[in-house]
Amino acid sequence: MNIILFGPPGAGKGTQAQHIVKNYNYFQISTGDLLRNEIKQKTNLGKNIEEIISKGDFVSNDIVNILLKQSISNLKFKDKIIFDGYPRNLLQAENLKKNLFEFNQSIGAIVFLNVSRDIIEKRIIGRIICEKCNMTLNEYLDHKEIELHACGKEFLKKRKDDNFKIATSRYDTYMQKTKPVLDFYSNSAEFHQIDGSLEIQVIKGKIEQILKV
Ligand code: AMP
């Protein structure tokens, strides 16, 4: 089944998605990563995207849709996708439904990681990501893990868009634009809400229960 992992930036979607990928052979499709990849490649599209992301705004639905369709149409990913950070507004939710239908797929679970603004701010400001293995750690909370990190701590870097001003702007954008999508999904039978401030392992367990059904 395909899964949507929902929650404001910093809710722990990336960490949980990594776990599902590793243990259930899923493919994580993060629109944020797809967009950052365009920036890295320094394409014309990438330059345009960089400006939008640095302001904490949303990239246009058309751009996101093009990048996303490339993943949905890939047979290797069929029914094994975790959508991370997508859909972010109602139009994207409709596009997703259409695109999945076109490729004979659907959404099996919608998991919402619910976390307060206070916690999210702390998490985003301290977040560091390993350039080599993609592991996410927090410089305020994970001292031991940072020291012992297998790839070496020199690979642990802050994301360019992780600072207080951008963090709050991203949270506000989320609340304003993504909340309606959440309301839209919350009535569906596939919707599950999990307290995202719980221990990572506890959340993993709850998600595993959902995947077993
Ligand atoms: P994320 O890595 O999911 O936190 O996304 C980082 C940034 O990429 C966001 O703040 C947006 O500017 C942009 N972005 C990511 N996903 C989407 C999306 N589905 N629609 C529009 N913009 C997006």
Whether residue 90 lies inside any domain: the answer is yes
Whether residue 152 lies inside any domain: the answer is no
Whether residue 46 lies inside any domain: the answer is yes
For 71, phi then psi, to 5°, come to: -80, -45
Ligand 1 centre to CA of 33 (Å) is 8
Whether residue 18 lies inside any domain: the answer is yes
Number of domains the chain contains: 1
Ligand 1 centre to CA of 82 (Å) is 15
How many angstroms separate the CA atoms of 51 and 59, rounded? 10
Ligand 1 centre to CA of 73 (Å) is 21
Whether residue 132 lies inside any domain: the answer is no
CATH code of 49's domain? 3.40.50.300
- Output the pLDDT for position 56: 81
- Output the pLDDT for position 126: 87
Supply the range of the domain harboring residue 68. Answer: 2-116+178-211
For a substitution probing ligand 1, which of 88, 92, 174 has the most ligand atoms within 8 Å of its CB?
A: 88
Whether residue 41 lies inside any domain: the answer is yes
Ligand 1 centre to CA of 39 (Å) is 13
For a substitution probing ligand 1, which of 59, 82, 170 has the most ligand atoms within 8 Å of its CB?
A: 59
Could you tell me what percentage of the chain is helix, strand and coil, using 3-state DSSP and rounding each to the nearest 5? 55, 15, 30
Digit-coded pLDDT (tens) for 47-103? 889 999 888 888 999 999 988 998 999 999 999 999 988 898 899 999 999 999 999
Whether residue 52 lies inside any domain: the answer is yes
Digit-coded pLDDT (tens) for 161-192? 667 777 778 778 887 878 899 899 999 999 99
pTM of the model: 0.78
Digit-coded pLDDT (tens) for 115-153? 888 887 777 788 899 999 989 898 888 999 999 999 999
Whether residue 172 lies inside any domain: the answer is no
- Output the pLDDT for position 146: 96
